[in-house]
Amino acid sequence: MDNRARNLRELAIEKLKSEQEINSYKSNLDLKTLIEELSIYQIELEHQNQELISSQNELQNSINRYIDLFDNAPIGYLIVDIDGVIKDINETACILFGSTKSQLKNIKISKLIQPDYQDIYYLYFKRLVSQKYSQTCDIKLQKSDNSFFFARIQGIRQLQLNVDIPEFRLAVIDISIQKEMELKLLLAKEKAEENDKLKSAFLANMSHEIRTPMNGILGFAELLRKPTLTENNRVEYINIIKKSSVRLLELINELIDISKIESGQMQIKLSTVNVFDTLNDVLSFLLPEAKSKNIDFVFDYSNINDPLNIETDKEKLYAIVLNLIKNALKYTNKGHIKIDCYYVDNKLKIYIRDTGIGIPEDKFDLVFKRFRQVEETGFHEGAGLGLSIVLGLLKLLGGDIRFASIVNKGSIFYFSLPCTIVKPILKNTVTNSNDLELDLSHVSILIAEDDYSSYYYATELLSNTNAKMSYVENGIQLMDYLNNAIPDLILLDINMPLKNGYECLKEIKQRNIKTKIIALTAYAMNDEKKLLFKFGCDGYISKPYTQCDLFVEIDKVLTDCLK
């Protein structure tokens, strides 16, 4: 209060104290002056009041501006106390967290941090408390719907007015897109580096794998010209040329397989496969080589009593087992190779153990990579494709492969393949079609097939079953036939003219015709099989098929019918 104001106040107080005194002043000059002074003071007060109102407005404006700036800033802001409790938070941060102010205020900031990043945040906060300058850290934050986003937090310690304890201002920026880009770049870089290595390995391997057999072929073909050649030499040279050609052919096949797998063109052809027969076929094929290396095959059947008939792709299972046992043989110089086989949890599980050179742990990552070999300097025969193909085929069939290995002790490769067991209800379950028997004397079968040779093939296979057989050659004929008679079983070619198999299936379902249907198709993809079953098929055979495939499927379908 300035002096003038103080004087005026004192005068006013005195005036109030003594009314009479004031009255005695009434005619006084002093009184006049006092009234004048008061009037001036009143005007001044009014001015001051105006100023106060306008500065109050200004203050309110700047508060509003501050709130607007704070709330609608392009980045999230939080004010956190020394215990990590959120004291204030702006709208942008609320949007980032998908919550409201009231939900976020007064909770601990650690509740918004993804569990894996709690330690990082703890260290960051320690830094914030101890440092004068702003501190940054990248962290994963948790939204109210439990999803996460990557954020960059930039914070600074701030002393509060009249209080000794600091508070912390944190700016939060969503950097998920940057992080995603960073990750993509990192992956691209890793991929580019990997491709570079791959290219070198590919060139080195191909050059070695093509030149070696070519050398054998060209060199010994030249030697065959020698007029002085003995009969023994001739036979030996021809054998070498043959062996080299086979090796070259294997390489070409491997290259085709891997390209097919990688371009998604490898098709699945399901049929009933006897696992023991497949394993035996592979072992007999490799036996001469095993004998020449003095290595025993130990194949333990004892885990399963029944003959193991499963539904899978026969060729692919053969290729998988062949590659694995061939590798075991290639990388084993003494001892044995043991094969175990189980069917558990609807999966075929095969274990191949060897007593070979093993794989060093730091090379584990390489073995399933294309063209890569553990010993990339001292060449082993092989292009580094075998295991990539095995992995690709297993993935295609929904399976999985793992391995364990100890250097100089040996390796174990084991894979699992989801598959169903096909219950052998046939009188004879051997896969040799000459031994099969199936009595269908009370069964009528309609073959719907446009290709005469395919029809003829099916009738030949069924000739000894005593089934009553009929034939239609397109979809329209089939539907007409069903107007007059309903067979027990239809062998339905899917790719028929006029009305294809799917259309017939649809109509059969609509007309509620009760018959069993086995679809015959040449496009044996897994999806197609599912689709056919969805359309109402009871069984499914992919072409080309054997008598065993046909009998097993018929047996399955008709047995289901009796249930």
If the CB atoms of residues 287 and 485 are measured against ligand ADP, the closer one turns out to be 287
Angle between helices 452-462 and 547-562 (to 10 degrees): 70
If the CB atoms of residues 328 and 557 are measured against ligand ADP, the closer one turns out to be 328
If the CB atoms of residues 389 and 518 are measured against ligand ADP, the closer one turns out to be 389
* Chain position whose Cβ is nearest to ligand ADP: 382
* Rounded CA separation 131/157 (Å): 7
Tell me 142's DSSP state. E
* Rounded CA separation 535/551 (Å): 22
Site residues for ligand ADP per CB under 6 A: 327-328, 330-331, 354, 356-359, 367, 373-375, 380, 382-388, 411
Closest to 553 in 3D by CA, of 418, 453, 452, 420: 420
CA 131 to chain centroid: 44
* Rounded CA separation 228/492 (Å): 64
CA 513 to chain centroid: 42
Q: Least distance from C-beta 398 to ligand ADP, angstroms?
A: 21
Tokens representing 429 are: 């379950």
* Rounded CA separation 40/30 (Å): 15
Q: Least distance from C-beta 349 to ligand ADP, angstroms?
A: 18
If the CB atoms of residues 107 and 206 are measured against ligand ADP, the closer one turns out to be 206
If the CB atoms of residues 155 and 384 are measured against ligand ADP, the closer one turns out to be 384
Tally the C-alpha atoms within 13 A of residue 309's C-alpha that lie toward its C-beta: 17
* Rounded CA separation 310/423 (Å): 8
Q: Least distance from C-beta 367 to ligand ADP, angstroms?
A: 4
If the CB atoms of residues 175 and 255 are measured against ligand ADP, the closer one turns out to be 255
Q: Least distance from C-beta 368 to ligand ADP, angstroms?
A: 7
- At CA 360, angle to CA 357 and CA 362, rounded to 5? 165
Q: Least distance from C-beta 319 to ligand ADP, angstroms?
A: 12
Helix, strand or coil for residue 358?
coil
- At CA 106, angle to CA 133 and CA 126, rounded to 5? 30
Q: Least distance from C-beta 297 to ligand ADP, angstroms?
A: 14
CB atoms within 10 A of CB 350: 22
Q: Least distance from C-beta 393 to ligand ADP, angstroms?
A: 12
If the CB atoms of residues 99 and 373 are measured against ligand ADP, the closer one turns out to be 373
Q: Least distance from C-beta 206 to ligand ADP, angstroms?
A: 12
If the CB atoms of residues 354 and 473 are measured against ligand ADP, the closer one turns out to be 354
List strand residue ranges (DSSP E) for 453-528, in order. 468-472, 489-493, 516-521
